[in-house]
Amino acid sequence: MCPNVQWAGSLERVELDPWEDAGGEKGFLTVDLLSGKHQFHPIPSRPVAALAPIKVTGGDHDQLRRRVREVIEEVPGGIKGKIARLKLEGASPEDLLALQGGELSVLRTSALHLAIEAGREPRDSPAVWLLEDAPALLSDALKKELERDGFLDSATRGVIEDLLNPDIVAASKSSVIGAMDALDGDIPGVGRVSASIPVGLTAVIGGDGRARKLVRELLVQAGGGSGSGALRQLWACTDTGTLGEMFSIGSLAIASTRGLAVVDAILERLDPDEHSRTGIKSGTRSLESHPGRATLIDLGHVATEFRSAKMDLRSLRAEVIEADGDLEASMMDWLRERQDAETTLNAYRDRARQLRSRLHRMEESGPGAPCPLCGRVLEGHYDEVLRELKDEWESVIQDGSWWRSRREQLELKPLNHRKLERTTLKLHVALEAQSERVELLRIRLNKVGEGVRPREGPVARDDPRSQVMLALLRVRAAREARARDLLLNRASRFVCRLTGGRILAITVQEGGVRLEGDYRTLLPASEEDLSAGKVAVRLAAASLVAAGGQGLGSLLLEEPFDRLDPEAGIRTLVLMKHLLGQIPRIIVVSRGTAVGARPELFDCIMEVRDEASGVGPVLRPTPAGPGKLLLQSPAKLKR
């Protein structure tokens, strides 16, 4: 650690994620207190194998299985008896499930412990779903649907233009949910609460169950989560009876930030009575339209178009992943170059100050000044040394001026990086449009779940409002289905991360939302597994909502967190620290077991007073954040 401090570390690998220290030795130190000599004694420990990351090509499951076998064979001695990690970059839930059963069974039997990671989550692009762009995006989607039905004419165009007026954005706009920086109020039977809530990860722990619950209810009121609406329901509903209910709340909130709120506002404006009869509300099972004469759809042509659209979507996803990687590499290069310029400029500034100080001392002392190098009196060499120092000082100033200009140039993003940003944004927009197109075609083929498919009736040729209504219902169903897919993908990544790969994915089946283990579907699922699924869904939904342009001011996490097993609880805390880049405040109301295990992860910890004591503030701050280790030793006195 430093010349007079040695650190032996632990005798075993105790970290939840020991991959960074995979090649390090474990052991102990012996120190001779008289001579100060020390020696490290390595001891046998459990070997760790961080397998080479596998870049997954979506849909090619045979290639994925073959690459897994190849990576395992590349490990010297194999993975038998080792702590191993299998990292699958860009893997979707379907790709992970391709390894379920036999493939993973063999690997887990061989390894001492096998962790499976799905790689980093895909990058979000908030500019894709700006609320101001929602009317134009919806107009394009409606016109394409009407054109497929053969209903796009001047009458339907006129209906769309009348509906999509500038007021529609204001009507569907919602305020930020959970925006609070303090908690102030009276709790019956407990007392008055007055505490600030800083930016970062905050824990509310201790007290009895009733006191914590009342503090949680006060937090919900302060965050504005007691009203109606999909976003408010997501913020306030920290726990549900089933995993399916949590998933439904999360997917509806995501959809509302990705154009669904605008669709619902237009449906309400188009026909309030009809809107109420379609059942377009939170938690409804279906959508229905009531027109007059059937439209003819060539299912064979739609099926062909659907297959082609899915192939185009797969290609677009590959392009987006590659573009995101190029953009991230470009960003790192820019930041590194800017940091290098800043460091070099500071070095030149320090050198210039040092030379100027020497020149000032020499000019004050005259020929009797000491030499800056050897310390002898300069005398006859004074003018020569002074001239060389001035020349060096001017050279440093000139070079420093160049580095200052370079640093100022690098304050702005390079032209190539800005081009990559525009290209990546266009690809993300195209990906969202293509995803919606696939869902619309899937609806026409009746290949979506009953919970999101509109039951289509006949449409009158001379009724443009009904024609637009039907197109709106399809678009609404497509956007809800897209939100469900997004949530499934991210929640699956999160639950795999929280459980170390013990739960591979979350799926939606006829029987409801299911947890997929590494061997089979978990039926019945344990309380710990269900809690991991609920926490993963809630965190995934919050991160997607925050990335949708209508961000959350905070996020509240309560009861399911305490039911997690200890390792999953700590991994959840690490994940929440990562999400603070999207959500400024995350508040955990907990009994405190996991909080006590990793207090350094928190920016603020507040302890709830026991009701029986009745002494002191209701919320008392306790130490949080990284600790400081001070080592002191007695100084040896010279006699």
CA distance 281 to 185: 33
The whole-angstrom separation of Cα 8 and Cα 2 is: 13
Spatial separation of the C-alpha atoms in residues 356 and 276, rounded to whole Å? 80
Both tokens assigned to 308:
């082609």
pLDDT of residue 228: 60
Q: For 87-94, what is the mean pLDDT?
A: 81
Task: Quote the percentage of the chain above a pLDDT of 90.
Answer: 18
Report whether pLDDT(48) > 60: yes
pLDDT surpassing 50 at residue 471: yes
Report the C-alpha gap between 252 and 233 in whole angstroms. Answer: 10
For residue 121, pLDDT beyond 80: no
Taking residues 111-127, what's their average pLDDT?
75
Radius of gyration of the chain (CA): 31
pLDDT at 286 over 70: no
- For residue 532, the model assigns a pLDDT of 94
Q: Which residues, other chains included, contact 91 with Cβ-Cβ below 8 Å and sequence gap of 6+? A: 56, 64, 118, 119
Average pLDDT on 615-632 reads 78
Q: Does the pLDDT value for residue 456 go beyond 80?
A: no
Tokens of 163: 């509906």
Helices (H) and strands (E) in the chain, counts: 19, 17
Amino acid at 380: G
Share of the chain above pLDDT 70, in %: 84
Residue 287: the pLDDT is: 37
Quote the pLDDT of residue 570: 92
Which of 173-182, 397-406, 456-465 has the lowest average pLDDT?
Answer: 456-465
pLDDT, position 277: 38
Other beta carbons within 10 Å of 618: 23
Confidence of residue 613 (pLDDT cuts 50, 70, 90): low
Kindly tell me if the per-residue pLDDT of 340 is higher than 60.
yes
pLDDT digits (tens, 9 = 90+) for 499-542: 988 898 999 887 789 999 888 888 888 999 999 999 999 999 99
Q: What are the backbone angles phi and psi of residue 248, rounded to the nearest 5°? A: -65, -45
Query: What pLDDT does residue 239 have?
Result: 80
Predicted pLDDT at 501: 85
- Please report, for residues 329, 332, 388, the alpha-carbon distance to residue 128 in angstroms, rounded to integers and kept in the order given: 21, 23, 60
Nearest Cα neighbor of 444 from 464, 466, 470, 468 is 470
Torsion of CA 233, 234, 238, 241, to 10 degrees: 70
Q: Is residue 285 over pLDDT 60? A: no
**Dihedral sign of CA atoms 385, 387, 389, 391 in order:** negative
Write the burial class of residue 133 (CB in 10 Å: 0-12 exposed, 13-18 middle, 19+ buried).
Answer: middle
Give me the pLDDT at residue 390, please.
87
The arithmetic mean of pLDDT across residues 23-49, rounded, is: 84
Q: How confident is the model at residue 12 (pLDDT cuts 50, 70, 90)?
A: confident
Reply yes or no on whether the pLDDT at 453 is more than 50: no
Q: Which position has the token pair 């001017």?
A: 394
- pLDDT > 70? residue 114: yes
> Is the pLDDT higher at 9 or at 286?
9
Confidence check: pLDDT of 636 > 60: no
For the chain, what is the mean pLDDT?
81
84 in Cβ contact with 51 (< 8 Å): yes
**Helix 464-498 × helix 566-579 angle, to 10°:** 130
* pLDDT value at 120 more than 70: no
The more confidently predicted of residues 311 and 627 is 311
One DSSP character per residue, 204-217 reads: EEES-HHHHHHHHH
Sign of the alpha-carbon torsion through 548, 551, 557, 561: positive
pTM of the model: 0.81
Q: How far is CA 397 from CA 342, 355, 364, in A?
A: 15, 10, 22
pLDDT in tens, 52-69: 888 877 667 888 888 888
Is 301's pLDDT higher than 70?
A: yes
Which whole number is the average pLDDT over 242-246?
A: 91
- pLDDT band per the 50, 70, 90 thresholds, residue 172: low
**Tally of CB atoms within 10 A around 119:** 17
**Nearest C-alpha neighbor of 258 from the set 448, 122, 130:** 130
Asked if pLDDT for residue 131 goes beyond 60, the answer is yes
- Determine the Cα–Cα distance for residues 585 and 587; give it in Å rounded to an integer: 6
Q: Which of 515, 525, 520 is nearest to 494 (CA)?
A: 515
The mean pLDDT value for 362-369 works out to 80
**DSSP string for 429-472:** HHHHHHHHHHHHHHHHTT-S-TTT-EE-----TT-HHHHHHHHH
The burial class, CB within 10 Å (0-12 / 13-18 / 19+), for 290 is middle
Q: Give the residue from 153, 148, 60 showing the smallest Cα distance to 443.
A: 148
Least confident of 132-141, 362-371, 417-426, 441-450: 441-450
